Amino acid sequence: MTDNAGLKAIILQAQAPVFAVLDGAQFDDLPRSLFAADFIHKPLYLDRGNGTADQLRTAPQLVWLDRDWHDADKDNTGQPRPTSEKMLDRLLDLMGERHAAVFWFCEAGGDVLFRHLRTINMILLPTSVDMDRGKAYEPNPLSQTSDDAQDADYEMVLFRHADSNVMAQVLPSLTYAHLARVLGPAQQILYSADPDWSEKPMRVSRAEDMPVPPAGPLKLSVEEVRAIEGKREVRSRRKIATYLRKVAPEQTTDMNEEELYQFVYDEERKVKAFGVRREDMIGRWAFMQITSKTDLSHDKNVRTAMTNPSLPETPDERIRILFDLRLRMLRESI
């Protein structure tokens, strides 16, 4: 659940120019919704004529919170003003429970912020790290992968900085210099992520001793990417542990949180050795293990099913089949 009340209190207390970046991918038709509510907004993806209607609808939008289309000064978007409580309430109503907005405190104004945000739409990731590209690193929907990377060690991908859950993973993992690069002209970034990431709104503020950000696209290091992956893995294990508490209460009742987390960690390592990657399939494997009397990773039939190269199914699909068989056996034993 998004802490909209907490966001509102922080934004209004600042009495500063604040702008919102909304994640179009989480709405049916964000441009239409913003237009209907009289917001002044700009898409952060440049349409060169090759974008489909769906791609344009899902693009992130920079939204002004200090005026609307009926304001006499609506076209003077480069001159910032304090946030309008009316416009902020209207935006929070549009967001609902979605983790679909990131707020930028920027005294330089919306036009300056717009130009900056377009420079962080694409970032460079090291190709040497085995990672889940996930929602945070989807390909740019309006262009092919860029050739701007200087060598084969990096790939240019889309950074979904309008998604507050993405920011909750990425920003705490960045170096000081890279935080400065993301902030650009802004004094602060504010967002409310899923409770798995934080119970309260999170923010990053500019410090006086922040270095001058490096020129060019944001280029994450191997260490930064691994830190992001580490946060994802911890969150995933906690979700699986919660799932096991729900579906296997008898087997988990005597396990404390640390013991259950360690169990999930151990089972994750076992099933990933078979090539399984999806979180839900790791959870199903953990359920099968915790309801079995033996270690399935050493079971001859299970190992054959998971390692047989002649089978057409992927490792994740094979876990689904084994899970269905396990459920059938459990139901028949009742």
Q: What is the pLDDT of residue 208?
A: 86
The stretch 184-213 carries a mean pLDDT of: 89
Question: Is residue 299 scored above 90 in pLDDT?
Answer: yes
Question: Is residue 83 scored above 70 in pLDDT?
Answer: yes
- What is the DSSP secondary-structure string of 158-223? E--TT-HHHHHHHGGGS-HHHHHHHHTT-SEEEE---TTT-SS-EEEE--TTPPPPPSSS-B--HH
Residues 313-331 pLDDT 10s: 999 999 999 999 888 887 8
The stretch 50-67 carries a mean pLDDT of: 82
Q: Look at residues 220, 253, 274 and tell me which one is the last residue of a structural domain.
A: 220
Is residue 129 domain-shared with residue 59, that is, in the same domain? yes
The stretch 207-236 carries a mean pLDDT of: 88
Q: What is the pLDDT of residue 138?
A: 45
Is residue 211 domain-shared with residue 81, that is, in the same domain? yes
Q: How confident is the model at residue 198 (pLDDT cuts 50, 70, 90)?
A: confident
Is residue 197 domain-shared with residue 300, that is, in the same domain? no
Is residue 66 domain-shared with residue 184, that is, in the same domain? yes
Residue 241 domain boundaries: 225-332
Is residue 19 domain-shared with residue 159, that is, in the same domain? yes
Domains contained in the chain, number: 2
Is residue 234 domain-shared with residue 291, that is, in the same domain? yes
Distance separating alpha carbons of residues 68 and 302, to the nearest angstrom: 61
Q: What is the pLDDT of residue 194?
A: 87
For residue 125, which phi and psi values (nearest 5 degrees)? -120, 140
Q: What is the pLDDT of residue 143?
A: 40
For residue 237, which phi and psi values (nearest 5 degrees)? -65, -40
Burial of 148: CB neighbours in 10 Å, binned 0-12, 13-18, 19+: exposed
At 62, list the tokens.
């920079």
Is residue 73 domain-shared with residue 167, that is, in the same domain? yes
Distance separating alpha carbons of residues 125 and 223, to the nearest angstrom: 11
- Rg (C-alpha) for the chain, rounded Å, is 23
Q: What is the pLDDT of residue 334?
A: 61
Is residue 44 domain-shared with residue 159, that is, in the same domain? yes
Q: Look at residues 220, 241, 265 and tell me which one is the last residue of a structural domain.
A: 220
CB 98 within 8 A of CB 2: yes
Q: Look at residues 205, 220, 235 and tell me which one is the last residue of a structural domain.
A: 220
Is residue 243 domain-shared with residue 203, that is, in the same domain? no
Q: What is the pLDDT of residue 155?
A: 87
Q: How confident is the model at residue 304 (pLDDT cuts 50, 70, 90)?
A: very high
Q: For the chain, first and last CA: distance in Å?
A: 38
Q: How confident is the model at residue 174 (pLDDT cuts 50, 70, 90)?
A: very high
Is residue 203 domain-shared with residue 259, that is, in the same domain? no
Q: Is the dihedral of CA 22, 25, 31, 36 positive or negative?
A: negative
Q: What is the pTM of this model?
A: 0.81
Q: Is the dihedral of CA 52, 53, 55, 59 positive or negative?
A: positive
The stretch 11-26 carries a mean pLDDT of: 93
Question: Is residue 9 scored above 90 in pLDDT?
Answer: yes
Q: What is the pLDDT of residue 52?
A: 61
Q: Tell how strand 202-205 and strand 154-158 pair up.
A: unpaired
Q: What is the pLDDT of residue 130?
A: 66
Q: How confident is the model at residue 280 (pLDDT cuts 50, 70, 90)?
A: very high
Count of CA atoms in the C-beta half-sphere (13 A) of 214? 10
Lowest mean pLDDT among 42-56, 86-100, 195-209, 302-316: 42-56
Is residue 131 domain-shared with residue 279, that is, in the same domain? no
Percent with pLDDT over 70 in the chain? 90
Is residue 284 domain-shared with residue 311, that is, in the same domain? yes
Residues 105-156 pLDDT 10s: 999 999 999 999 999 999 998 887 766 555 444 444 334 444 444 557 888 8
The stretch 51-56 carries a mean pLDDT of: 67
